[in-house]
Amino acid sequence: MAVPPLIVATARAGWHWQWQRLMQGLAPADAEGHYRRPASDRRDMVLPEASDLLARNDETRARLIIGRSCPWAHRTWLIHQLRQLQPSLELVIAKADHLKGRWSLEPAWLGCDSLQALYQHCGCSPRHRATVPALIDPCQSATHEPALLGNDSAELSLALARWPAPQGAPDLAPEPLLESIEIWQQRLQPAVNDGVYRCGFARSQQAYQDASEALFQALKTVESALKTGGGSWLCGEQLTLADVRLFPTLIRWEMVYAPLFGCTAHPLWTLPALWEWRQRFFQLPGVAATCDAHAWRQDYFGALFPLNPGGIIPAGEDLSRLVMAQPPTCP
């Protein structure tokens, strides 16, 4: 028996009203429906001396706390891997708790079973939003108390690029390329890294269209630079932070951002230089180990209820096979 059109229309109107309110809690927007990322509760970066970092034992060694699904934390994880920082910086992987809406710590550390509790243990206000990545000193030399050294991904990325590393570790922020790295940061952060969220969290058709056009225009700029720049990486022949900051967004493309956020105006393979760039990056030592497509699907599809109210977590292709595949011939 068919449902009467009036009931369908009433149900749609009621659901849209509820969806708008759910979305306002998840992703604030302006009057036209454009997503506006809230300002983060960031801490200014404060790092101990290099000699102090290298002298720490297992208990007092600084910890980098990341979440597998967070692209901002993924940046710092990549630097930790590429520069082989484990001897002086221990990695802690927090787990997304969908029911409580927080990052949990399993096992507990410093008596804290959640990132929020750890932030408070480091002296942060209970209202301070506990985000990853976070750099924690369990015993700072001045007070011997735990301290949050920093939680802004851009600052952390630069700090980890200069962190004491074994001989032969790549220099991801060479002085002559810092200006170029910053130019790429300003190009890519709003339009691509944040742009996929502007698409997914848009609250009107026009807001989505604006975000999608800006996103793909920025990707075409990257494509052109890779074709004409005379190097394998964004800043030329040397891998830098510019590449590290772009990769977490592009590696999640087919697994999350296209199916859930509607980043579908063009398949990624229609940008062949960018496709090959992603393949090169994925093959760097230690990179594949940071790419957990299962965790991405679980956390994005499982946690973002307003975008996926059914809670169905779709199957996905094997990430390694997808990334390394030869794309169809572009028209």
**Which pLDDT value is given to residue 330?**
52
User: Which tops the pLDDT comparison, 287 or 39?
Assistant: 287
User: Which tops the pLDDT comparison, 254 or 14?
Assistant: 254
What average pLDDT score do residues 117-144 get? Answer: 90
Minimum mean pLDDT range among 57-61, 118-122, 273-277:
57-61
Which amino acid, 279? Q
What average pLDDT score do residues 169-197 get? Answer: 97
**Which pLDDT value is given to residue 122?**
94
What average pLDDT score do residues 237-264 get? Answer: 98
Fold designation for 175-324? Glutathione S-transferase Yfyf (Class Pi); Chain A, domain 2 (1.20.1050)
Q: CA 74, 152, 298: angle at the middle one, nearest 5?
A: 35
Q: What is the CATH number of domain 50-161?
A: 3.40.30.10
The answer to whether residue 181 scores a pLDDT higher than 80 is yes
Which residues have C-beta within 8 Å of that of residue 215, sequence separation ≥ 6? 191, 192, 195, 196, 198, 199, 263, 265
Q: Write the pLDDT tens digit of every residue in 71-94.
A: 999 999 999 999 999 988 999 999
The tokens of 7 are what? 């009931």
Which amino acid, 131? T
In the chain, which residues fall in CATH 1.20.1050.10? 175-324
Minimum mean pLDDT range among 25-29, 181-185, 189-193, 317-321:
25-29
pTM comes to 0.93
What whole-number percentage of the chain has pLDDT above 70? 94
In the chain, which residues fall in CATH 3.40.30.10? 50-161
CA distance 112 to 118: 5
**Which pLDDT value is given to residue 327?**
84
CA distance 320 to 301: 21
